[in-house]
Structure 1
Amino acid sequence: MHINLLRTSLLFIALAWINPAKAQQLDPVLKDLISKGLSKSHNSRIHDLEAEQAMVDQQLAKSVFIPKLTLNGSFTRLNDDITFDNATKDLLIGTQKLLIKEAIGMPFNAPFPGNIPLTDVPNLQDQNILKSSVDLDWVLFSGFEATNAIKANKLKETSLNYIGLAEKDKIALKIIEAYDKLSLVYASEQVITTTSNYLNEQEHYVKKAIENGLATPIARKKIELAQQQLASKALEFSHNKTLLIELLHQLTGESRERLSLIAPELQPLSTTSLSNTDKRNEIKALEAAEQATLYQSKMVKSSFIPKLALKGHYEFIEDDLSLLEPKWYVGVGVKWNLFDGFQSKLKSQKAMIESQKYRVQIDEAEEMISLSIIKAQLNYESSLQHTKIAQKEIELASATYDLIDKQYKNNLASINEVLDALTDLEKANFKLKESLFDERRALTDQLHANGNLTSFYN
């Protein structure tokens, strides 16, 4: 009865794993781990911050056209008042007298009346100077330099966003692989447990057979050796389980306690997005970076286009102004860079060379991706075939084991043959689990190669 139960259990597990009706998308627990892993990733966070910096650079470029207001305040004490020289003072006083005589109807050569006060000649600048003013600077036209800078930084932001998405895909692949390896460990433990139970039953049967003179102690030692070998495998899987839980903890930030409670199961994955529907994020990032360098080149070239700006100034304190200083003024100016020693030309050439480097990288990446798509497709097709072969091997190993076990019960086969058949059945089940693991790996690799992985795990 135990023999049939073992064979039935192993066959049921095998058929359940490869049943197409049970093919599924990523299970919710794995999706939740991926989501936490993407939030925790340091590299992903760095890319997000770099993209935010590019957004700030765009705002800085736009701020060129925003008027700038500057408040100024100062106090200055001169060594003395700034005044006219004596000859100029005498001239100004004489002119003042002539004007007064003309105003009262006196001849210009008549003596000046002593009872009429004269106004002192004001200083050009008093000794103590207190100033408070506001300046206005407003760029009206930057010669397209700011406009090209905005476009360059916008494309830089786009490139960094795509790099961040590509990094997230890599993180998702690591989490899926670790999760599937943990599933493989759990599935292997199930088979080991089933095999261990049967060996215990066989040990009991051999013990009775020895007592009745139907078997030798060597048969029991062989079973004990098989149990030790199985225990060694169980210890190996336990260590792998601990390492995988630690890896998932580092990747996702999920607690080790919760990770040890999840029970992942290996199931065939299904998807309808195996065709190449979009460019890889890596290609999009390189293309955006290439366009950004082209706008950087245009930005440098535009330095030779005249710039137009408005300048304004207003003094709040009028009393301390010199006789030559206005209270306010407004003006429009033009700045035209005619020759800068070839600096702009060289910087533009440098940006164009950078653009050509991105183009070479794009061509190389497209070639590598094209090869990876073919390789991933072939691997996926091979993995499906290997899964079918593993199923047939399980059926054959199960039938062989059933036959030899019956022969052993009828003294037509040795205990070595029974243990060998049991080992073959165990290996066949491990091979099926490994084939299913490889199938899931091949599918996710193909999705990644085709640029469809993001939509698969989101």
Structure 2
Amino acid sequence: MKRSAKIGVAALLLVSPLAAAAQQDVQLLTFDEALTITCTNNPALKAAAYEERAAEQERRAAIGLRMPQINVAGAYTYLGKDIGADLNDLKGPVNKLAGDILNSGIVPPELIPSIQGLIGPILGADWFLKVQDRSLGFVGGEVTVPIYLGGKINAANRAARISQQTAEAAGAQTRNALVSELVERYFGLALAAQVVEVRREVVEGVRSHLRDAAALEENGMIAYSERLYVEVKMAEAERELENAKLQLQTISSALKNTLGTGEGAYRPITSMFVLTQLEDAAYYKALAADRNPLLTQVELKSRLAEEGVKARRSDFLPQVVAMGGASFYNYQVTGILPRWAVGVGVNLKIFDGLNREYKYSAARQTVRRVDALRDKAAEDIAVLVEKLYNQLNNYANQIVSIDSSIAFAEEYLKVKNAAFLEGMSSSSDLIDAELNLAKVRTERMQAAFNYDLTLAQLLEAAGISDEFTSYIRRADARRIAFEQ
């Protein structure tokens, strides 16, 4: 590409972001702004927040296990018959006894008719002594206060607190993962836009070469096959440009998904960067062991499993509760029944078919399983940190190497372009030089993108994804701009 043409393309690229923003209503977006929008709108973070609130309410519910349980109940009942004592079977013996006494001569004869007149209605009446009417109702309340449940309530409260902490750690893990996702899509969109520009430059360069080739063919300086080769490369360049545009649209939609905004278009304006100085791997391993949300969750699951063992152990101990109740309103309820009662209840299970023993043993096995998983997770995270750290250094070295390759590719293209115009070089050599320059420029931006994404993943593994923005602003952060 000629120097004047290159300067013109560079100037166009410098003003194209603002021009495109004005024409298409594209919103310029810094990484800090993108992170703020993500933390505000992303559905995954909202779901994590709801999960944390639910765990908090569950913890508060567990506190209620220590409190008295107060119930108010009412009922109306219609029985099949009245409740009472049926004494009608005694009428015969009583009547016989009365006759024997009256006929024994003890009672004066003149009083017998009067006595019989008195006894007759009594013996003729229904001798059913009703204690409770068949229709009755009541409204009352009861209070139950747990005194000792073998430590089950304490275990439940500790388990609820652990579950809340687990939800918080899961929320932190979600936030850290979203930071990495945002880095991938934010800088991925910047990379895709720059690839489009590179491909557009290639198309323009090959089109210029095609015009030159056509002119040289007319003058008999090159063969028809040379011009045909440039046409083939022109078609390939246009196809790659269209593919780059489609990739740009895909990543733009992905970024909007991460931001939680379904409409609008965004243009990243925060440059990709590479750090010239980085803490050693041991620093990030220590952070990961202490702050990685996944390891925190595994540790909490271990503690939760231990509380499960304590809860199962409580099944072997007696349960003691205090209780009391009173009736506030009665409808045709016999006065024989008391209106209030208090007491203490004790329950001790002696044998339940070894159910408690097996559940207790299962809880202990769960503790051992979670402990093994915790050790494995700690090793995996340490290996992951080391892997990401080495990849980070590898990408940094790639950028240094590519920087020197770009200077050579630019100079090589100038030489080949001049030779082609003088008929000293073939069109294939010139096109290859043009494509090689585009390749190394794209590789440089790709390496920078890989570096920033790997850095985000490293900070995620270390549990400090929130510090990614501070890494962007570090004094040793070297900006990787498209035109450098």
What TM-score do you get using the length of structure 2 for normalisation? 0.74
Instruction: Using the TM superposition, give the Cα deviation of residue 237 of structure 1 relative to its aligned residue in structure 2, in angstroms.
Output: 0.8
Gaps of at least 5 residues in structure 1 are: 14-24, 92-111, 113-120
1:258 aligns with 2:264: yes
1:235 aligns with 2:239: no
Distance 1:425 1:81 in 2: 105
Partner secondary structure for residue 338 of structure 2: coil
Partner secondary structure for residue 131 of structure 2: coil
Query: Is 2:312–2:360's contact at 8 Å kept on the other side of the alignment?
Result: yes
Q: Which amino acid aligns with 1:71?
A: A
1:163 aligns with 2:170: yes
Distance 1:212 1:263 in 2: 48
Aligned residue for 1:19? none
Aligned residue for 1:40? 43
- Partner residue of 2:304 out of 262, 276, 292: 292
Query: Is 1:387–1:435's contact at 8 Å kept on the other side of the alignment?
Result: yes
In the TM superposition, 1:188-267 aligns within 5 A as: 188-255=195-262, 257-259=263-265, 261-263=266-268, 267=272
**Greater fraction of residues in strand:** 2
Partner secondary structure for residue 308 of structure 1: strand
Instruction: Using the TM superposition, give the Cα deviation of residue 281 of structure 1 relative to its aligned residue in structure 2, in angstroms.
Output: 0.7
In the TM superposition, 1:33-72 aligns within 5 A as: 34-35=38-39, 39-41=42-44, 51-64=52-65, 65-72=67-74
Partner secondary structure for residue 254 of structure 1: coil
Distance 1:51 1:152 in 2: 15
Q: Which amino acid aligns with 1:421?
A: A
Instruction: Using the TM superposition, give the Cα deviation of residue 49 of structure 1 relative to its aligned residue in structure 2, in angstroms.
Output: 5.3
In the TM superposition, 1:272-351 aligns within 5 A as: 275-276=283-284, 277=287, 278-317=290-329, 320-351=332-363
Distance 1:285 1:56 in 2: 19
Instruction: Using the TM superposition, give the Cα deviation of residue 298 of structure 1 relative to its aligned residue in structure 2, in angstroms.
Output: 0.7
Q: Which amino acid aligns with 2:346?
A: V
Distance 2:176 2:10 in 1: 36
Aligned residue for 2:124? none
Query: Is 1:306–1:334's contact at 8 Å kept on the other side of the alignment?
Result: yes
Aligned residue for 1:73? 75
Tell me the number of residue pairs that the alignment of Structure 1 and Structure 2 aligns. Answer: 419
Partner secondary structure for residue 268 of structure 1: strand
Over the residues paired in the alignment, what is the CA RMSD in angstroms?
Answer: 3.9
Distance 2:431 2:339 in 1: 107
Query: Is 1:391–1:432's contact at 8 Å kept on the other side of the alignment?
Result: yes
Instruction: Using the TM superposition, give the Cα deviation of residue 253 of structure 1 relative to its aligned residue in structure 2, in angstroms.
Output: 4.0
Distance 2:173 2:241 in 1: 37
Aligned residue for 1:419? 431
- Partner residue of 1:428 out of 440, 451, 457: 440
Task: Name the stretch that deviates more: 215-224 or 149-158.
Answer: 215-224
Query: 1:203/1:187 Cα in 2 relative to 1: closer, same or farther (>3 Å)?
Result: same
Q: Which amino acid aligns with 1:137?
A: V
1:378 aligns with 2:390: yes
Query: Is 1:75–1:129's contact at 8 Å kept on the other side of the alignment?
Result: yes
What TM-score do you get using the length of structure 1 for normalisation? 0.78
Task: Name the stretch that deviates more: 243-252 or 347-356.
Answer: 243-252
Query: 1:153/1:273 Cα in 2 relative to 1: closer, same or farther (>3 Å)?
Result: farther
Partner secondary structure for residue 442 of structure 1: helix
Identity of aligned residues (%): 15
Distance 1:360 1:186 in 2: 47
